[in-house]
Amino acid sequence: MAELYCPCSERHKLWGEFWWVEGKHQWVFFDDLQTSETYAEQVERCPACGRRLERNDLRKTANPAG
């Protein structure tokens, strides 16, 4: 499990897990912002900005330099 943040101005907090899905490994993301409507739900897009979530685009820490 990894704590991640969308690079958008809202820096929406997510968590990601690496799962075996349909014969391959892939990242699966969940909303981790307690005040969000989709809190703890699996999401494919950032709940704040709507950007499609791709592991390489997400930040690992809350630090803007991270």
Output the pLDDT for position 63: 53
Does this model's pTM top 0.95? My answer is no
**Residue 62 pLDDT grade (very low, low, confident, very high; cuts 50, 70, 90):** low
Q: Which two tokens stand for residue 18?
A: 């690496």
Question: Cα(66)–Cα(25) distance, rounded to whole angstroms?
Answer: 25
Output the pLDDT for position 66: 46
**Residue 1 pLDDT grade (very low, low, confident, very high; cuts 50, 70, 90):** confident
Termini Cα distance of the chain = 17
